[in-house]
Amino acid sequence: MNQQLKEVQNWLKENQLEAAYIHAPSDIAYFTNFHSDPHERVLALFIFPDQEPFLFTPALEVESAEQVVNFPVYGYLDSENPWTIISEQLKNRGVQSRIAIQKDVFPVNRWEALKEALPTLTEAMDVSPLIQRMHLCKSQEEIAIMMEAGKWADFAFEKGFSALQEGVSEQEVAAYLEYELKKQGVHHMSFDTIVLFGAHAASPHGMPDTEHHLENHQLALFDLGCMWNGYASDATRMACYGEPTDRQREIFDIVYEAQRRAQEAIRPGVTAGELDAIARDYITSKGYGEYFTHRLGHGIGQQCHEFPSIVGGNDMVIEEGMCFSIEPGIYIPNEIGVRVEDCVHVTKDGSEAFTKLPKELYIIKD
Q: What's the chain's Rg over C-alpha atoms?
A: 23
Tens of pLDDT, residue by residue over 27-74, are: 999 999 999 999 999 999 999 999 999 999 999 999 999 999 999 999
Tens of pLDDT, residue by residue over 122-138, are: 989 999 999 999 999 99
Distance (Å, whole) CA 231 – CA 236: 18
Q: Where are the beta strands (DSSP E) in 213-334?
A: 218-224, 227-228, 231-232, 235-241, 297-299, 306-310, 323-326, 329-332
Query: pTM of the entire structure?
Result: 0.92
Per-residue confidence band for 1, with pLDDT thresholds at 50, 70 and 90: low
Q: List CB contacts of 359: < 8 A, sequence separation 6 or more.
A: 237, 256, 259, 260, 340, 342
Tens of pLDDT, residue by residue over 189-244, are: 999 999 999 999 999 889 999 999 999 999 999 999 999 999 999 999 999 999 99
Distance (Å, whole) CA 208 – CA 171: 5
Q: What stretch of H or E contains 58? A: strand 54-58
Structural domains of the chain sorted by starting position, each given as residue range(s) with its CATH number in brackets = 3-135 (3.40.350.10), 137-364 (3.90.230.10)
| CA proximity to 344, closest of 296, 294, 292, 300 | 300
Q: What share of the chain is helix, strand, coil (3-state, %, to 5)?
A: 35, 25, 40
